[in-house]
Homo-oligomer: A and B are copies of this chain.
Amino acid sequence: MFSQTVEYALRVVVHLAGHAPEAQTTDQIAKTTRVPRAYLSKVVQSLRRGGVVRSQRGSGGGVTLIKSPEELTILDVVNAVEPIQRINECPLGLASHGVHLCPLHARLDKALEHVEQAFAKTTLAEVLSEPTTSIPLCDTPGTDVISTIVERKEE
């Protein structure tokens, strides 16, 4: 339902939020997020164009969040890489359905609206601070991420 790229983008931003406000290099990000290194640069560029992160070239450079984790929502991230496509007009192109969607598409759009709202209400800070046994990305100091990878079933 959500694309792989959105999943990657969220991981990247969670990583950055966990280290804010320090800049992180793509190598560092790739390690903890397990996003393919070469593809990560594309994801980061999307996030930059979407106004979510700032990136700095040269030694000592890296990627940083533009907003603080308290102000940055999941929706901001999703919209930066792949905006949620609401249903604004009849997909069949029926003129008679003009402004008002038919009941079918109205329901589908309503579902999208709920998802959008849920994402808009959740900040990265909330995701990070939630009391739980599972820390997002699990990159807490002392934890070796690599060794905790388990066998995954083919899907």
Residue from B11, B74, B148 in contact with A107 in the complex, judged by beta carbons closer than 8 Å: B74
**When the two chains form their complex, are residues B11 and A92 in contact, meaning their CB atoms are under 8 A apart?**
yes
Q: Is the CB of B101 within 8 A of A134?
A: yes
Category for how many chain A residues contact B: 35 or more
Q: Which residues of B contact A14 (CB under 8 A)?
A: 104
Complex contacts, A115 vs chain B, CB 8 Å: 1, 111, 114-115
- As for how many copies of this chain the complex holds, the number is 2
Question: Given A103-B134, A112-B1, A132-B100, do A91 and B7 touch, yes or no (CB 8 Å)?
Answer: yes
Asked if B85 and A103 sit within 8 Å, CB to CB, the answer is no
- Cα of A26 to Cα of B95 in the assembled complex, Å: 24
Report which of B96, B122, B145, B149 forms a contact with A138, defined as CB distance below 8 A. Answer: B96
The answer to whether B150 and A93 touch across the interface, beta carbons within 8 angstroms, is yes
Within 8 A of B (CB), among A88-145: 89-97, 100-104, 107-108, 110-112, 114-115, 118-119, 122, 126-128, 130, 132-138, 143, 145
Q: Hey, which chain B residues are within 8 Å of A143, CB to CB? A: 96
A118 to B117, CA, bound (A): 15
Nearest B residue to A8, CB-CB: B91
**Top 10 closest pairs, chain A to chain B, by CB:** A103-B130, A102-B134, A95-B150, A102-B136, A95-B148, A97-B134, A104-B136, A103-B127, A111-B115, A93-B152
